[in-house]
C-alpha cells in the first residue's frame, strides 16, 4: 500500500485474486443444489467461505416456515447437507471428512415477512 494508504492497482489485483480463490466453485455448488432440490421446497441457497476460520457457511431457504420442520423430520435437510459436502468435494474444496460447513435453515416466507424480501438484509 502506498504512503497515503490508498491501495495500488496491484493491491486491488491481489484482493480480487483472493476473492476469486475464496469463491472458487461455490456458484456451481449452489446451482447443483437448487437444481436437485428445488422441486422439494428448497427456494434459495447461499454458500460463503471464510478463510479466517476455514469454514463454509451454508444458508438454505425453503419456501415456507412449515417446510423447515418437515424437512428436518423427513431427512431432507440431512440429504441437502450431505449433497453440499459431496458437491464441495467435487469442485475441489477439500475432502468430505475434513470440510467444515455450518448450516442454517430458514424460509423465503421469513425473508419476505421480516426483511422486506431482501436476502442481503437477512444474511448480514
Q: What is the pTM of this model?
A: 0.83
Confidence label for 2 from pLDDT (cuts 50, 70 and 90): very low
Edge-to-edge strands, sheet with 101-107: 42-50, 55-62, 101-107
Averaged pLDDT for residues 97-107: 96
Q: For 46-69, what is each residue's pLDDT tens digit?
A: 999 998 999 999 999 999 999 999
Q: Do 57 and 50 touch, CB atoms closer than 8 A? A: yes
Phi and psi of 101, rounded to 5°?
A: -135, 130
User: What does the pLDDT read at residue 19?
Assistant: 65
Pairing of strands 55-62, 42-50: antiparallel
Residue whose C-alpha cell reads 420442520 in the numeric block = 69
**Helix or strand holding residue 4 (H, E):** none
User: What does the pLDDT read at residue 23?
Assistant: 73
Amino acid at each position: 500500500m502506498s504512503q497515503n494508504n490508498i491501495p495500488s492497482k496491484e493491491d486491488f489485483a491481489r484482493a480480487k485474486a483472493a476473492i476469486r480463490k475464496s469463491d472458487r466453485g461455490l456458484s456451481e455448488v449452489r446451482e447443483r443444489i437448487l437444481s436437485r432440490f428445488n422441486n422439494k421446497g428448497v427456494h434459495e441457497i447461499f454458500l460463503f467461505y471464510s478463510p479466517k476460520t476455514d469454514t463454509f457457511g451454508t444458508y438454505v431457504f425453503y419456501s415456507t416456515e412449515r417446510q423447515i420442520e418437515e424437512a428436518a423430520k423427513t431427512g431432507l435437510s440431512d440429504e441437502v447437507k450431505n449433497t453440499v459436502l459431496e458437491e464441495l468435494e467435487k469442485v475441489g474444496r477439500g475432502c468430505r471428512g475434513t470440510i467444515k460447513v455450518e448450516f442454517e435453515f430458514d424460509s423465503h416466507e421469513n425473508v419476505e415477512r421480516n426483511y422486506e424480501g431482501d436476502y442481503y438484509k437477512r444474511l448480514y
